[in-house]
Each structure stands twice: as C-alpha cells, then as structure tokens.
Amino acid sequence: MTQIEMCFSEFNAQDLEGRLRRAREPSRRAAAARRVFAPELSYGRHRGPATPRFRPAAVVALFYRQESEWHIPLTLRADHLDDHAGQVSLPGGAREPGETDEQCAMREMDEELGVADNGIRVIGRLSQLFVFASNFLVQPIVAVTDETPDFMPNPLEVEQLLEVPVTHLLDATNYGSHVITNRAVTCRAPSIVYRNRHIWGATAMMLGELMSVLRESGDERP
C-alpha cells in the first residue's frame, strides 16, 4: 500500500478540497490519466472537439465516509436504458435547459440514488470529457458530504449500487482490462476492477483523473 493510500482515510473534507485546488496543469493531467484508461480503437476521440450537436451532461463524484473510510458511489446502469446500459457509471445524466452543471449533477444523483443535496458541498470540477459513443460532453463535478448518505437506488435506472472505497481506486493492483464486443468489433478496454465489475470507458477515465489529482497534489507523484 502506498503512502497516499495509508494516509487517505485520515483526510477530512478540507484536506480533500485543498488537494483538488492545488492540482497542477489540469489539461496535461487529464490527458495522461485518460490515456491510461482509453479503450482500444478510441483513437483519442474523447479528447474532442465535441460534435456541433453534442449533448451537455454532468456527473458527480461524491466523497463520503463509511466506517471511517472515504467512498464514492457508482451505479450499475439498468439494461433497458438508452445510453450506456449495463455499464458502471458515476451518477449523472443529460443537462436540462436552464441548469448549471452542478444543478444537473445533484438532480441526477437524487433521481438515481435518492440523495438530496442537503449537506453536500461542491468542491471542484475535473476536465470535460467528450463521450463520442453517446455524443455527450460531460462535466465531472466533485462534491463531499460530512454525512453517510442513506442511498435509495431507483430500480428504473440503477441495477446495483457500488460503494467503492477511494483507497481501492488509488491502488493500481486493482487495474485490469475488459473485452468489449460491439456489433462485429471486439476490443480491449483498461478498467478498474471492483467486486468482479469492470469500471471502464468514460467513467474510468474520469476516475483516473480524479485519482491523479489526489496523488499529484500530495507527496506522491503518479
């Protein structure tokens, strides 16, 4: 276990926010983190530019404590959904007219997991990511709460709730790969493995950037 993993459980919300604010060179960090988790045959399309008719969206990485350890909730999306069905994702979705990215992320998390934004504080953003498969330009939001949420997953949208320890995401021994078949094309995607679930694609790229923030703003470098 690395130094950052060992001390991470002792962080408070202010430590977390400070690390996010101290992160350097976000565009270079994002590019490096996304290369690590970019699927084969993606050809860098996630770097954009987005198509003229892209759909704006937002997701949220919510930090909360459970049994004294920081976690982030992820969802296994229901199989009947139009976009990214059966994949593991951060809570989020398409932005509605008049919404800010933060409002969108909080609304979507409430719809998916039954978590109102009372007591949740937005502490930063990651780099935007263009998801070419669904034409979404996604703004990742980072938030924190001092309370352990009482999640109530919406069965119409969420097949399973995954409460992932942040130390698990930081540990590179949990990184693997996943074979994807789409129509007649088969390729391999780097992934983060948690309880036999593969977190890959856009979600892995965003989490990869977030973990690099936690590493690079401390004593350890990625």
**What is the rounded distance in angstroms from the CA atom of residue 200 to the CA atom of residue 75?**
13
Contacts 24+ apart (CB under 8 A), 35-38: 36/190, 36/208, 37/189, 37/190, 37/191, 37/192, 37/200, 37/201, 37/204, 37/205, 37/207, 37/208, 38/190, 38/205
Q: What are the structural domain ranges in the chain?
A: 3-171+200-216
> Which whole-number Å values give the CA distances from 92 to 141, 160, 217, in the listed order?
10, 15, 26
Please spell the DSSP secondary structure of 158-195, one letter per residue.
EEEEEEEEHHHHH-GGGEEEEEEEETTEEEEEEEEEET
> Which whole-number Å values give the CA distances from 127 to 138, 149, 164, 206, in the listed order?
9, 26, 22, 8
Class of the 3-171+200-216 domain?
A: alpha beta
Pairing of strands 55-66, 136-145: parallel
pTM metric for this prediction: 0.86
**What is the rounded distance in angstroms from the CA atom of residue 84 to the CA atom of residue 135?**
11
**What is the rounded distance in angstroms from the CA atom of residue 58 to the CA atom of residue 141?**
7
Mean pLDDT per block of 10 residues along the chain (222 residues) reads 62 79 62 78 54 86 92 84 69 96 96 89 90 86 93 91 96 90 77 93 93 70 38
